[in-house]
Structure 1
Amino acid sequence: MSTVVTGSTFLVAMSRPRPVYLVDFFCDKPSQARMATCSKIMDQFRSAGTFTDETVAFQRKMLERCGIGDSSYFPRSLLCIYR
């Protein structure tokens, strides 16, 4: 009987979530060239010519809902126009 109690106690102790500690934090601030407004990003999506009206509307909705403001930084891939 004691083996069952010891075994079940061990399983309960092992299944508990272990604490996670933040050791360091780093935030990168890109160059001003990577800053854009949401309207500029939406213009990029429309002018690319590869998105349908439905996908552009979806992208606009995602930009509005995710909390990106008018002074946000974006990857170069969204800021460049490839034709």
Structure 2
Amino acid sequence: MPDSSALYRELSRSREWLGNAASRVSDRPHAALEAGAFWLAIALPIAYLPIVIVPAVGGSQFVPALLAVHALCVVLGSDHTPTA
């Protein structure tokens, strides 16, 4: 028969861990958005290359929208600190 006090301690630890995880998520609910905006701001300039290399494709109409999205990503992702 399993030790009920050991089971109780394990359940208590599990509840505590879940509670801590939930509080970390609720402390910074926008962290995923911030991280996504940060990395998109880094990767988005790659989309400029086809427009610069082949301007006749008609991509020049998307340049203002692309610049606006890039600026928005830079602002939203500016507080993100990537960890290794």
Q: Which category of TM-score, normalised to the shorter sequence, fits these structures?
A: under 0.3
Q: Normalising by the residue count of structure 1, what TM-score does the alignment of the two structures yield?
A: 0.27
